[in-house]
Amino acid sequence: MLKIVFNNMMRRKLRTALATLGIVLGVTVLVSIVSISTGMTQQSLDALGKLQGIQVIKKGSMDPVMSSIPIEYADEIKSMTGVQAVSKQVWVWATSIEGPSEGFSLSSFFTAVLGVEPSEMGLIKSSYSASLIKGRQLEAGDRYVTVVGKDVADEHNKRVGSNIEINGVDFKIVGIFHAGSRFIDSQMVIPIDIAREISGFPNDRISMAQVEPENPEDAQKLARKIELRMDDVDAKTQQEFSEDIGELLGTMKTVQWLFSSIAAIVGGIGVMNTMIMSVMERTKEFGMMKAVGWTNRDVMKNVLLESIVIGTIGGVIGLLLGFIGSMAINTMIGGLAMVTVELAMESFIFAVALGALGGLYPAYRASKLNPIEALRYEG
């Protein structure tokens, strides 16, 4: 039976290839999209786990880099009850590290430069100090020195003691941290005055105030109190970030679902189309198979098998391409896409199911062919 299936597929190589291509396309799209979003999810969850305290930024800004609030807010928050410590931070786009980056690179897209007050860093729990793996923290009196994330150090081949150029200014690396999250490990920490100096960020403003509550359980309440007191800020706790990310993930799921459906339709229709044509073309053959004793079910199975084989081949190739694609994404932007075993299995099953589904109707048609009509000699 398989032999018949393969022979037929080979006989119409181009058409089989096209049907397979539909499935390949579907699976490739599926694998790449899901692998990226799985990777992103993993990264965000990692980062979230590392987040500490409350982040106070300008209301409505998506990222500290785009936020600016009056510096007095930091002192005002500090004076509130329940606040242990506040760290003032100035966030700067890293527009150029070791010279302007050529073209778009997502790793530099993630890279942020944080200006902090070294004396304040000891007071708050921070993922940077917690995950220092080499060298030391920033200290009072430091000027053009930086503590960088491991990803930055790795990408530019730097170690403690090396110089690194940030937005045209040379800094000396005194420490390296490794938090295990792509978002955090692409950051660089420098003294806040220097951050102002290289970016022109005004002295009377900061990007963000990181607040350490006396009691972590009260974080949520404290955040609300801060927002009440200063009505132009967002104060977010780790939990609230989780909720935000949860929403984002929900959106990603929808997008994934959308793409998978498109992939399914493209792949399924491709197979169905091929199989219908193939069945019509072989009307005579199926008629003859029935005349020599094949049952309707035999004929049906034969056609179904053919489309399942197409699905399987398409699945394997698509998986391979999707895998290569996500590896390419990874080398381009670094460790973002993740192809999990589940994803591989799911998309493979998806492909086989597509093949089967696409073959269902043609198989039914073939099984219902009237052998006499099929055999009637028209010559």
Partner 1 sequence: MIEVKHVWKKYNPGMKNEVVALKDISLNIERGEFVFISGPSGCGKSTLMHIIGCLDNPTRGEVYMDDVKVSSLNDGELSKIRRDKIGFVFQAFNLIPSLNAMENVMLPMILVATNKEELRNQAKTLLEAVGLGHRLKHKPNQLSGGEQQRVTIARAMLNDPEVILADEPTGELDSKTGEGILKLLKKVNKERGTTVVAVSHNMLTKKYCDRHLKLKDGKIVR
Site of interaction with partner 1 (CB under 8 A): 1, 3-4, 7-8, 10-11, 284-285, 288-296, 298, 371-372, 375-377, 379
CA dist 284 → 143, 220, 273, 277, 305 (Å): 86, 74, 19, 13, 19
Q: Quick one: 162 or 370, whose CB is closer to partner 1?
A: 370
Q: Quick one: 218 or 285, whose CB is closer to partner 1?
A: 285
Q: Quick one: 9 or 174, whose CB is closer to partner 1?
A: 9
235 strand-pairing partners? 56
Q: Quick one: 226 or 313, whose CB is closer to partner 1?
A: 313
Please say whether the beta carbons of 228 and 186 come within 8 A: no
What's the closest the beta carbon of residue 290 comes to partner 1, in angstroms?
7
Q: Quick one: 163 or 295, whose CB is closer to partner 1?
A: 295
Nearest to 286 by CA among 360, 356, 365, 358: 365
What's the closest the beta carbon of residue 16 comes to partner 1, in angstroms?
12
What's the closest the beta carbon of residue 279 comes to partner 1, in angstroms?
14
Q: Quick one: 14 or 292, whose CB is closer to partner 1?
A: 292
Structure-token match 């005349």, residue found: 291
289: Cα separation from own chain's centroid: 51
What's the closest the beta carbon of residue 318 comes to partner 1, in angstroms?
26
Q: Which tokens belong to 343?
A: 């994803």
Q: Quick one: 143 or 297, whose CB is closer to partner 1?
A: 297
Q: Quick one: 221 or 376, whose CB is closer to partner 1?
A: 376
Which CB contacts under 8 angstroms, 24+ apart, belong to 218-221? 218/82, 219/53, 219/54, 221/82
What's the closest the beta carbon of residue 9 comes to partner 1, in angstroms?
9
Q: Which tokens belong to 25?
A: 């396309």
Which DSSP string corresponds to 110-129? H-EEEEE-HHHHTTS--HHH
Contacts of 258 (CB under 8 A, 6+ apart): none
Rounded-to-integer distance, Cα 14 and Cα 17, Å: 5
What's the closest the beta carbon of residue 308 comes to partner 1, in angstroms?
16
Give backbone dihedrals phi and psi of 12, rounded to 5 degrees, phi first. Answer: -120, 65
Furthest C-alpha separation in the chain = 99
What's the closest the beta carbon of residue 300 comes to partner 1, in angstroms?
12
What's the closest the beta carbon of residue 10 comes to partner 1, in angstroms?
8
